Amino acid sequence: MSKALDLITRVRGVRGAMLVSTEDGLVVAEQLMEGIKGGAVAALAASLAGRLGRAMEAAGTGTSVFWHLQAEQGALLVVPGDASGGILVVAVAEPDVNIGLVRLELLRAAEAVV
């Protein structure tokens, strides 16, 4: 698991990566830079994933495969649980991170976790 996270955090601009239980929003594994609160990231990511998932199901786009929250000072990138057996693969990154690269590593990590 830590090897999977290691590949994500090697991407320039990624401040941390973690595996989160979809069901209860608890941290399963993490590799975070100092100052990032793993527990908060896990809980918030799981909650947002749940709400977004319901909206997407209602819109007919099916289960989410990857999502990306862009904010002024950073980004949250997530491969949701269904793709990784009930585990969210999460990255916290700088705003100008290479999203395509992080997405790729998140999907690889999800595969490795399963």
Would you say 50 and 29 are in contact if contact means Cβ atoms under 8 Å apart? Answer: no
Would you say 13 and 96 are in contact if contact means Cβ atoms under 8 Å apart? Answer: yes
- In the region spanning residues 36 to 55, those forming contacts with other proteins, defined by CB under 8 A, are 36-37, 40-41, 44-45, 47-48, 51-52, 54-55
Would you say 89 and 82 are in contact if contact means Cβ atoms under 8 Å apart? Answer: no
Across 80-95, b (16+ Cβ under 10 Å) vs e yields: bbbbbeebbbbbbbee
* Residue 24 vs 71, nearer CB to other proteins: 71
Does 56 interact with other proteins (rule: CB under 8 A)? yes
- Of 33, 61, 96, 114, the one binding other proteins (CB under 8 A) is 61
Does 91 interact with other proteins (rule: CB under 8 A)? no
Stretches 2-10, 22-30, 60-68: which one binds other proteins (CB under 8 A)?
A: 60-68
Does 104 interact with other proteins (rule: CB under 8 A)? no
